C-alpha cells in the first residue's frame, strides 16, 4: 500500500522536500566553477608579484570583473552545498546540526558579499 | 559500539559494522576522502581570496599588508597547498562527471581514474608554479 498522495508523487520531492535540486545545483555550479576557476588561476598567475596599480587595473577591467562576479556566485553556491553535505554526514545532534547549517549559510553569504563588494568597488569606486 | 536505550533506560552495547580503520586503504577510497578534505580546505581558504579582493579594493596600504602575507614563506606554503587542493578537487570533480554518465564504473577504470587524479593534480600544480616562476 502506498500512503503518498498523487500530488506528492507528481512533485517527486521526496522526504527532504527538495527533490534533486541539491544534486543538480551542485553539478551546475561545478561546471561553472571548472571554467571560471581555470580563468582565475590564469589571472592570479599573471598578477603574481604585480604592484598595486597593476592589480587594481586588471581587476577593474570589465570582462575580468564580470567573470569574477560569476565565479563568486557559483563558488559560494557550490561551497555552501558541499559543506552542507559534510555537516549532515557528521553531525548527529539535531540542535548542533541546525546551528552549523545556519553558520554555513552565514559564512557563504558573508564571503560572497565581501567579494562582490570588493569587485564592485574596484570597478565603480573611487 | 552503539548504545541503544531500552525501555527500562539501561544501555545495550550493540556491534557496529566495521568502519574506515579496519580496511586497507584503496586508491579510490583515498581519493574520495581527499576530495572531501580538499573541498573543506577550499571552503575555508575563500577567506584568503576574499581578503585579497577586499584589500585591493580598500587601498595601497591594505593591499601591501595582504601582498606581504602572500609573499612570505608561510604565504607561499598556503598558496601552494591551496592551488593543489583546487586542482585536485577540480580533477576529482571531472572524475565524478564521468561517473555521473554511468561510464568508468568497473574496478579497473575506477582505479585508473583515481590514480590519474592524484598524479595529474601533483603534475598540474607543479606546472602552475613553474609558470608562476617563468611569467610572474
Q: What is the pLDDT of residues B107-129, one digit of tens each?
A: 999 999 999 999 999 999 999 99
**Residue A77 sits at the chain B interface (C-beta within 8 Å):** no
| Cell of residue B1, nine digits | 559500539
Beta-carbon separation of B50 and A115 below 8 A: yes
Ranges of residues in chain B with a pLDDT under 50 are 1
Q: How far is residue B9's CA from residue B119's CA, in Å, rounded to a whole number?
A: 53
Give the model confidence (pLDDT) of A80-111 as tens digits: 999 999 999 999 999 999 999 999 999 999 99
- Its ipTM equals 0.89
* A114 found inside a domain: yes
| Whether B85 contacts chain A with CB within 8 A | no
Query: Could you tell me where the DSSP H helices lie in B8-72?
Result: 27-58, 60-71
Q: Give the nearest chain B residue to A46 (CA atoms).
A: B136
Answer whether residue A19 shows pLDDT above 90.
no
Quick check: is A118 in a domain? yes
A83: domain range?
34-124
A68–B53: do the CB atoms touch at under 8 Å? yes
Does residue A58 or residue A17 have the better pLDDT?
Answer: A58
A12 falls within a domain: no
In a domain, A4, yes or no: no
The number of domains in chain A is 1
Give chain B's domains with CATH numbers: 32-135 (1.20.1300.10)
What is the predicted pLDDT for the residue at A119? 97
Residue A83 included in any domain: yes
Rounded to the nearest angstrom, the minimum Cα separation between A5 and chain B is 31
On whether residue A80 sits in a domain, the answer given is: yes
pLDDT of residue B1: 45
**Residue A24: inside a domain:** no
Give the N- to C-terminal CA distance of chain B in Å, as an integer: 55
Amino acid at each position: 500500500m502506498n500512503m503518498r498522495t498523487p500530488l506528492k508523487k507528481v512533485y517527486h520531492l521526496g522526504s527532504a522536500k527538495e527533490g534533486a535540486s541539491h544534486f543538480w545545483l551542485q553539478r551546475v555550479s561545478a561546471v561553472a566553477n571548472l571554467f571560471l576557476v581555470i580563468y582565475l588561476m590564469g589571472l592570479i598567475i599573471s598578477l603574481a608579484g604585480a604592484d598595486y596599480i597593476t592589480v587594481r587595473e586588471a581587476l577593474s577591467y570589465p570582462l575580468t570583473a564580470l567573470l569574477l562576479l560569476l565565479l563568486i556566485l557559483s563558488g559560494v553556491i557550490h561551497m555552501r552545498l558541499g559543506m552542507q553535505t559534510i555537516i549532515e554526514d557528521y553531525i548527529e545532534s539535531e540542535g548542533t546540526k541546525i546551528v552549523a547549517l545556519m553558520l554555513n549559510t552565514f559564512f557563504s553569504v558573508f564571503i560572497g558579499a565581501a567579494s562582490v563588494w570588493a569587485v564592485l568597488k574596484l570597478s565603480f569606486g573611487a | 559500539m552503539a548504545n541503544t536505550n531500552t525501555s527500562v533506560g539501561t544501555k545495550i552495547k550493540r556491534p557496529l559494522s566495521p568502519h574506515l580503520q579496519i580496511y586497507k586503504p584503496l586508491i579510490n577510497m583515498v581519493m574520495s576522502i581527499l576530495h572531501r578534505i580538499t573541498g573543506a580546505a577550499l571552503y575555508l581558504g575563500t577567506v584568503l581570496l576574499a581578503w585579497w579582493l577586499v584589500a585591493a579594493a580598500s587601498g595601497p596600504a591594505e593591499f601591501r599588508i595582504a601582498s606581504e602575507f602572500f609573499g612570505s614563506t608561510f604565504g607561499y606554503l598556503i598558496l601552494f597547498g591551496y592551488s593543489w587542493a583546487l586542482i585536485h578537487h577540480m580533477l576529482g570533480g571531472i572524475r565524478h562527471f564521468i561517473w555521473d554518465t554511468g561510464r568508468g564504473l568497473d574496478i579497473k577504470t575506477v582505479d585508473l581514474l583515481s590514480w590519474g587524479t592524484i598524479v595529474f593534480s601533483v603534475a598540474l600544480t607543479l606546472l602552475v608554479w613553474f609558470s608562476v616562476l617563468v611569467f610572474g
